[in-house]
Structures are given as C-alpha cells and as structure tokens.
Amino acid sequence: MKLFIDGETQTGSTTEWVINPSTGEKLQEVSLASTEQVDQAVRAARKAFPGWADTSPADRARALLKLADRLDDHAAELADLEAKNVGKPKFLADFEIPFIADNLRFFAGAARCLEGRSAGEYTAGRTSWIRREPIGVVAQIAPWNYPLMMAGWKIGPALAAGNTVVLKPSELTPLTTLRLAELAADLFPAGVFNVVNGYGATVGAALCQHPEVDMVSLTGDVGTGKEVARAASQGLKRVHLELGGKAPVIIYDDADLDLVVETVKFAGYMNTGQDCTAACRIYAQAGIHDKLVERLQAAINSMVVGEPNLEGCEMGPMISARQRDRVQGFLDRARASSKHLGFITGGQKINGKGFFLPPTVVTGARNDDEMVQREVFGPVITVTRFHDEAQALEWANGVDYGLSSSVWTRDLDKAMRATKHLHFGCVWVNDHGTLVSEMPHGGFKQSGYGKDMSSYALDDYTDAKHVMVRLAALS
Ligand code: NAD
C-alpha cells in the first residue's frame, strides 16, 4: 500500500511488512516515506491551504459528508482490515467504523456553526467582532490502538476548520489509514489531505521539525508527547496532545455489582486493555471488595480470547511482541517484588505464534505500586480496597495521568462530589468508556492538552482573530 501526497498515491522510498499480531506473520507490505517525501507532503499542504481555507463551510461539510458515506460503503472491508492489523475482535472493529463516520458527520455540521463569541461596540466609535481562522498546515500523528478512529478524530475538526493536513499513522497499523487516503482521493483538492507512513523517529520527527508545519497533533504515549512538544517548541508550533491514561474506577458498597462487573469486563479488557480510557485501576470499598474480586475472576475466566474472527471473540492479542513483553515485564516485576499482591489469571489456553496474554486481575494493590502508577496498556486490572470516600478520591487523583475516571454508587450526593473532585477530563457515573461525538475527549495533567471530538476540538484547530473597525474613518 502506498503513500498519498498532493492528490496522488506514491511509492515510498522503502517498503516494510506489517505484521499480523494474531499470528506473528506478515500481513501486508507498505510504503515508508523518506524525509524528502515528508517535505513534499508538507509543501503540498502549504500550497493547498489558502484555497481550502477559502472554501465555504458548506463545501467543506459536503466533502466530509461524502467521506463519511465512503466509510459506510466500505465498512465491512475497513473493519476487516482494522481487525486483522490491530488484532481486535471483529465486533469491536464493526462498531468503530460507524462511530468514525458519525464523528466526521458531526464535524461537517459543526463547520457550518463556527462562531465568534463576542461582537459589539466595546469602546466609543469602534465595532469589534471575532473571526475564527484555521491554523494552517497541521501534522497529525496517530497511535496503533485505534488507527482509523484516531485518524478520523484528527482530520474531522482540522479539515472542517479549513486547515490542510499531513497525517502519519503508526508504523505498526497503517493499513486502514492508507486505505482511507485511497477512498478520499477524489473528495479533496490536491494537497488538502496527505498521508505519509513511517517511524516516529524519522517521519514523525521530520513533521514536528518542518518549518512549514503550523501545528502538531499527537495521540500517543506521554514520553512521545514530551518529545513532540520539545521539537515543536523550536518553531513555537501549536501542539495538541492526547496522551496516556490510568483511569480510576471507584466502586462504593452500594454500587450495582452486576453492572460494574459487566462494564469493567468490557471497558477493562476492550482492545486487550490497549486503551487510554481502560478501566484498569479499581478502588473497591471494603464491603463490596471481596464479592467484586470473586465476580471478576469468573468474568475473566469465561472470556473468549483469540484471533479477531474466532466465534464470540472478546479479546485479541497485544499489538506486538514488544508490547506483550513490556506488559509481561510489569507482571514479572510485581510478582518478584511485591508480596502483598495477588494474581488472578484467566484460564484460557492460547496456542500459536500470536502476541497473546491472558486477562489478569491483580489484587491487594497499593497506590504506590508501579502497576497502579504507570500505564500498563495491556489486559491487566489492579484492585485496591478502600474504606472511606476521602481516601478513594485521594488515591484516584494520585497519579500523573488525568484522562478519564468513573464512580459507581446509587447515592447522588457521593456521585456529585466525585464529579467535582476527580481531576480528569472525563468522569462517568455508573458507566465507563462511553463516548459521543458531541462531547470532548481529552486529558488533564500528563494526559495532555487539547480536545478531540465536539466543538471544543474546533476551538483547538482554529485561532480567534479580533477585528476592530473605527467607523468614523469609513466613507
Ligand atoms: P507512541 O507514542 O509510541 O506512538 C504514537 C505515534 O507517535 C506513532 O505514530 C509513532 O510513530 C509516533 N512517534 C513516536 N515517536 C515520535 C517522535 N519522536 N516524533 C514524532 N512522532 C513520534 O504511542 P502508541 O504506543 O502508538 O500508542 C499508545 C499510547 O497512545 C498510549 O500511551 C495511549 O494511552 C495513548 N493514546 C491516547 C489516546 C487519547 O485519546 N488520549 C488515545 C489512544 C491512545
């Protein structure tokens, strides 16, 4: 599969095989961009910018609506490709494609509702108003866990606002993004939407450093976010960062246990736990703790783990041998050094060469344990017992991350206090992981800054310009 630069597909300077994580075997040969091709893509985006910024919101909306329709028309093919490349269960990929299309349709509509919040006479003889201007050329760098969804979340607001884009998928999962470029080829003027595939250290870094890039948007690891922000600071580029998470799940004694177990089983192990919002850090009140652990054990034992098309598959492999070994490393260190921890592992027998790990619950976790403090990004949930509300909230907030959180109780007062005190970009009450195109997704603290989805994303991809007119000087 090829790159997409200046309205045309292009072979990369080299090629590489993308690996199927369910088998460890070669899946698809793809092009990798050279630094010259990155430069060519950025220059094409620069050249296309004035024309695209000048189109009417209705025209931009029409292009995005057509793109959403193309996704619907190719949903089965895209879901199949995504499931194979990421190793995610087919039902999950099937769910994602319509959600991405919905997101593009939201931004098609939102493009036509961009507004300045102030207009009027704020001093004698002058009238002011706000124009919302696109930023310019935006480099967008996506992760491997939700490749097409992250591509959609990025290009929707950027293109709707009149920016031009150079998008880099993760080198591990470029297939659906390269296919998206093919599907979009006739929908945007040449140069408006470009896709360059390659490694972070080469293609990603070249994008962040390019003098003609005005903004960099990254979804990725916290460490990568810091590197990207450092590189972008040389040109004082605008930076938009959606980084890691370590979501706390506070479960009070009065919670609906059936609902908790069903939701945590899904939101904790969805995408093999490779999810920035994963329900991975449970704080269970003393009265419900033991019942919860027992129920979670039964839940993970019954999980169907395997390749995406396996009948009833609920969880696939890790994305790579490296990620599997990284998660195994967390578990090995915890087993070796932390006598207070208990380990419950699903009973699945997984054969073959794929990068599989069984679902795991780690009990007796303390807030300063490595596994509680750091993003494991695998099928591992920790459970910590708490006694009172203040302790739960303090522990929940006591990490570097601030992306998402949830609280489970039937007591409205307790729930409302948690929504105020939990320092995260999202707080769910009696739910975990549900997202909608109309509401923002983005982190506090080291989970980054900037929002995906919703009209708040349009704020990030535009600049507010104050126009002031001295009326007396006009004839
Ligand atoms: P990663 O940071 O390794 O890679 C993300 C992207 O950055 C890839 O395309 C990679 O090639 C690129 N990259 C790496 N180094 C770079 C550099 N120096 N300069 C420019 N680009 C560079 O992340 P990942 O492992 O692909 O994804 C997992 C991470 O993403 C997790 O931490 C997860 O929490 C986070 N994530 C966050 C959200 C969110 O919305 N907050 C959503 C999905 C994933």
Residues in CB range of 188: below 8 A, 6 or more apart: 52, 63, 159
Whether 58 lines ligand 1, by a CB cut-off of 6 Å, is: no
Contact status, residue 28 vs residue 16, Cβ threshold 8 Å = no
pLDDT of residue 154: 98
Nearest to 327 by CA among 382, 249, 287, 247: 382
Q: Compute the distance between CA of residue 365 and CA of residue 332 in angstroms, rounded to an integer.
A: 15
pLDDT of residue 53: 98
Residue segments in the chain with a per-residue pLDDT below the cut of 50: none
Tokens of 282: 């449970």
Residue whose CA lies nearest to ligand 1 atom number 28: 220
Q: How many A from CA of 200 to the centre of ligand 1? A: 9
Q: Compute the distance between CA of residue 126 and CA of residue 71 in angstroms, rounded to an integer.
A: 48
Whether 208 lines ligand 1, by a CB cut-off of 6 Å, is: yes
Residue whose CA lies nearest to ligand 1 atom number 9: 170
Q: Give backbone dihedrals phi and psi of 411, rounded to 5 degrees, phi first.
A: -95, 115
Tokens of 394: 């303090």
- Looking from the CA of residue 231, the nearest atom of ligand 1 is 19
Whether 174 lines ligand 1, by a CB cut-off of 6 Å, is: no
User: What count of other Cβ atoms lies within 10 Å of the Cβ of residue 416?
Assistant: 12
Q: Compute the distance between CA of residue 243 and CA of residue 62 in angstroms, rounded to an integer.
A: 31
Q: Compute the distance between CA of residue 415 and CA of residue 286 in angstroms, rounded to an integer.
A: 18
Whether 171 lines ligand 1, by a CB cut-off of 6 Å, is: yes
Tell whether pTM > 0.95.
yes
CA angle centred on 362, ends 360 and 364, rounded to 5°: 165
pLDDT of residue 96: 98
Read off the pLDDT of residues 336-351 as tens digits, 9 standing for 90 and up.
988 899 999 998 887 7
Query: Is residue 313 annotated as a catalytic residue, yes or no?
Result: no
- Looking from the CA of residue 169, the nearest atom of ligand 1 is 9
**Mutation choice for ligand 1 from 100, 166, 171, 221, CB with most ligand atoms inside 8 A:** 221
Catalytic one of 208, 276, 280, 426: 276
In Å, the largest CA–CA distance within the chain is 83
Q: Compute the distance between CA of residue 455 and CA of residue 285 in angstroms, rounded to an integer.
A: 37
Query: Is residue 276 annotated as a catalytic residue, yes or no?
Result: yes
Q: Give backbone dihedrals phi and psi of 394, rounded to 5 degrees, phi first.
A: -65, -45
Whether 228 lines ligand 1, by a CB cut-off of 6 Å, is: yes
Q: Residue 343: helix, strand or coil by DSSP?
A: strand
Catalytic one of 171, 242, 307, 314: 242
Read off the pLDDT of residues 119-169 as tens digits, 9 standing for 90 and up.
999 999 999 999 999 999 999 999 999 999 999 999 999 999 999 999 999
pLDDT of residue 23: 96
pLDDT of residue 169: 98
Q: Compute the distance between CA of residue 308 and CA of residue 315 in angstroms, rounded to an integer.
A: 8
The dihedral sign for the CA sequence 297, 299, 304, 305: negative
Q: Residue 250: helix, strand or coil by DSSP?
A: strand
Nearest to 284 by CA among 260, 258, 303, 259: 260
